[in-house]
Structure 1
Amino acid sequence: MSTRPTDTATPEQDPPLPEDMAALSYEGARDQLVDVVRRLESGQGGLEESIALWERGELLARRCQQWLDGARERLDVAMAAREQDG
């Protein structure tokens, strides 16, 4: 079983993440997201830069959520197996 979350989209979901972003670890995506938020909060960029940063932040947040969802699924599977064995 793979420990890495996948980014497969269905028509009801968001489109797949760009390849470079889909390859990020949770920590890598989180660190980049923190940087995006810091830059947005500084208010030093122009409108176009702020919009681009916001869009990148949305994608990074989605990547972090994929990792968290994958971790929750793995925990649920482990807990179910433990209940069956116990």
Structure 2
Amino acid sequence: MAAKTEESTLGYEQARDELIEVVRRLEAGGTTLEESLALWERGEELAKVCRHWLEGARARLDAALSGGEDGAGTADSDD
């Protein structure tokens, strides 16, 4: 349930920036196994938030494009 709350409160850019930081820390190494696992889990949560935002944006774009095509066809027939 925490992921749903996070999806609604964390914006795409914020989640993406935090995910970049998580990846940077994992790639740098020097963390314990426990810290690495916690970072990995956080990264998975952040990736889900980003995916949620991107899927929503794709759906809105698809709707706008399909609506624009219908509108363009109507405008052409009026000319």
Match of 2:32 among 46, 53, 65: 46
The CA deviation string for residues 19-72 of structure 1, in whole angstroms up to 9 with x for no partner, is: 2x3211100000000010011011111000000000000010110011110000
Cα 1:18–1:45, aligned 2, differ >3 Å: closer, same or farther? farther
Partner of 2:47: 61
Which stretches of structure 1, 4 residues or more, deviate above 6 A after TM superposition? none
Decide which structure has greater helix share: 2
Match of 1:73 among 53, 59, 75: 59
Q: Which runs of 5+ in 2 are unaligned?
A: 73-79
TM-score, structure 1 normalization: 0.77
Q: Which runs of 5+ in 1 are unaligned?
A: 1-14
* Identity across the alignment (%): 54
Q: CA deviation at 1:16?
A: 6.0
Q: How many equivalent residue pairs?
A: 71
TM-score, structure 2 normalization: 0.83
Partner of 1:8: none
Give the superposed CA RMSD. 1.4
